[in-house]
Chains A and B, each alone.
Chain A
Amino acid sequence: MSESGHPFGYEFENFQRLLDIPMDISPYNYAATGTGLAIALSVVGAAWGIFITGASLLGGAVKEPRIRTKNLISVIFCEAVAIYGIILSIIFSGKMEAVSGGFTNADWFSGFAIFNGGLTVGGCNLVCGICVGIVGAACALADAQRPELFVKILVVEIFGSALGLFGVIIGIVMTTQAKFG
C-alpha cells in the first residue's frame, strides 16, 4: 500500500497520483450521472428535433392541409428517441443496489460502465434527434410541393434514426455485466 492508501504501486509518484482522482469519486456517483445523462440528453435531442419538424410542418400545412397526418411520422421518429432514453435510464437505475463493506473492482466497473453507457445513449440520441428533425422539416416541405417525394425523403429519415439505435445497442452492450453489490 502506498502512503495515499491506494493499493497500487507507483513508478512516477507525483504524476500518477493525478490518475487516482477518478477513483476518489464513488461509483454510485458515476452510475447516477450516467443514468441522468441518458435521459436528459435523449430528451434534449427529441425536443430539438420535434420543434424543428413541427415548425415546418405547421407552416407548410397552412397552404397544403393534406400533409398534416402523413408527416406526423417525422414527429414520432423524434419521440422514439426520447423513449429509447427513458427505457435505458430505467434499466440503468435498476442496476444500483446497496453494497456492504467497501467497493470491489466489480463495483468500480459497474459505475464506469453505466456512466459511459449513459453518455453514449444520451449523446447518440441527441445527434439523432437533431438529424431526424432537420430531415423531417425538409420532408414536410417537399411533400407539400410534390406528394411522391414523401417516401423518398422518409428513406433518408430512416438512415438518420439508425444513429440513435446504434447508441442504444452499445449502451446495452457496455452495461450487461454491470451489477452493484
Chain B
Amino acid sequence: MDPTSQSYAVFFGLAGAASSLILSGAGAAYGTAKACRGIAKISTPNNDTQSFGKEYVELSKTGESNAQQSVGYKNMIPVVISGVLAIYGLIYSVIVSSSVVSPSYSTSQGYANFFGGLAVGFCCLVAGIAVGVCGEAGIVASARNSKMFTLMVLVLVYCEALGLYGLIFSLIANSLAF
C-alpha cells in the first residue's frame, strides 16, 4: 500500500463487505426457514403438532386429491429465491474484497464500499423477510388451489427485485468512487 494513503479506508471497505454478506445472509435465512414452515404445513395431517396441521385439516375437506398431493419440488421456489438473495451479498463481498488489496484504494472508495455494503445488506435483509412471508403464504395457497402458483411466483419476483435494487446502487457507487 502507498505509505501516503489513508489506510483506514481498508477498514471501511471490508466492513462494507462483511455487513453485505451477514445481513443478506440473515434475510436468506429468514426466507428459507419461513418457506420450510410452509412446506411442513401443507404436508402434515396430524392435529397434535402445534401450528402445523391446522391448515391441513381444511385442505382435506376439499377432496382427496388435494390431501393426497405429494409435496413436489415446485415448492422449493421460495427457497431458491432466498438463496439468490444471499448470492447478491456474496457478489458484492467478492467485488469489494478483491478491490481492497490494490495499492490505490482511496478513502472515497472505502466509504462508497461501506455504505454500498450496508445498502445491499439491508435491502436483501428486508427482501428475504418478504420472500419468506410471501413464500409461506404462497406454498399454502398453491396447495389449496393450483392456480395460485403463478401468482406466488409473480409476487416472489417483485420481492426479489428489492434486493436487486440494493445491489445495483452499490455497484454504481463502487464504480463512481474516485
Chain B contacts for A141, CB-based, 8 A? 40, 44, 49, 52
Residues of A within 8 A of B89 (CB): 166
Interface string of A133-168 (1 = CB under 8 A from B): 011001101100110110011011101101100110
Given A138-B37, A156-B79, A108-B18 contact (CB < 8 Å): no
> What residues on B are CB-neighbors of A170 within 8 Å?
17, 21, 90, 93-94, 97
- Please indicate which of the listed interface residues A113, A115, A116 has the most CB atoms of chain B within 10 Å of its own CB: A116
Count contacts on B: residues with CB < 8 A to the other chain: 52
**Contact between B1 and A109, CB atoms less than 8 A apart:** yes
- What's the minimum C-beta distance from B83 to chain A, rounded to whole angstroms? 5
Which 5 residue pairs are nearest across A and B when measured between Cβ atoms?
Answer: A123-B22, A131-B29, A116-B14, A134-B33, A138-B40
- Tally A residues with Cβ within 8 Å of B: 50
Is B93 within 8 A of A120, CB to CB? yes
14 contacts between A and B (CB under 8 A): A23-B7, A112-B8, A112-B14, A123-B22, A131-B28, A134-B33, A134-B37, A135-B32, A142-B39, A142-B40, A156-B36, A163-B28, A173-B93, A173-B97
A90 on interface, CB distance cutoff 8 Å: no
Residues of A contacting B52 with CB < 8 Å?
A: 138, 141-142
Judged by DSSP, the binding face of A is helix
Known pairs A123-B18, A145-B43; A159 contacts B80 (CB<8 A) = yes
> Residues of A at under 8 Å CB distance from B?
7-8, 19-20, 22-23, 104-106, 108-109, 112-113, 115-117, 119-120, 123-124, 127-128, 130-131, 134-135, 138-139, 141-142, 145-146, 148-149, 152-153, 155-157, 159-160, 162-163, 166-167, 169-170, 173-174, 177
Which of chain A's residues has its CB closest to B45's CB? Answer: A145
Task: Let me know if A113 and B18 touch, CB within 8 A.
Answer: no
Asked if residues B33 and A166 are in contact (CB atoms below 8 Å), the reply is no
